[in-house]
Amino acid sequence: MRLILIGAPGSGKTTLAHILSKKLRAPHIEVDRIFWGEGDLRAELLRLIKQDDWILEGHLSKHHDITFPRANAFLVITGNPLVFLYRSLKRDLLSPSRFWFNLKNHRRMERKRQELIQKIIKRRPEEIFYLENLSYPTESELKSLTEALIASTSKSLDEPI
């Protein structure tokens, strides 16, 4: 499975990707770790997405053109954008560059995320799933989600978005 989690900063993408990575036995690619590190984001992602299975999340606008064609499922985390902004600012309070980045780019990132979601809906609607993040999913919700993801990815496509 090649799954991309889509959601605002503070929506719970990293936590959920970590949980799903264990449940689905697929490596978790945390784009933020690469983005905020010293490496070449695109070169590193090109290397990592060659794997057969992965769960990826973070900074879509920087890599969607190379990662989306390799994905065979997309999970959109929805919820209250103001709650997500609050969570991200609270989380990044001790990291001024991240704090400022999320505050400054909040609306622009939201617009870009919605544009990308619309492209997926238009071209690959059967591969998109939604999860409302009000709290962490229960074990039964995670089981249902993983079963649906596995069922949907029994075919593998490399279609461009």
Question: Does 129 have pLDDT greater than 80?
Answer: yes
What fold is seen in the domain 2-151? Rossmann fold (3.40.50)
The span from the CA of 134 to the CA of 12, in Å, is: 10
For 79-100, the pLDDT digits (tens) are 888 888 888 888 888 888 878 8
Is-contact 4 74, C-beta < 8 A? yes
Query: Is residue 33 scored above 80 in pLDDT?
Result: yes
Q: What are the pLDDT digits (tens) for 9-20? A: 888 888 899 999
Helices 96-123 and 81-91, interaxial angle, to 10°? 140
Confidence of residue 139 (pLDDT cuts 50, 70, 90): confident
- For residue 49, give the DSSP letter: T
pLDDT at residue 158 in the model: 44
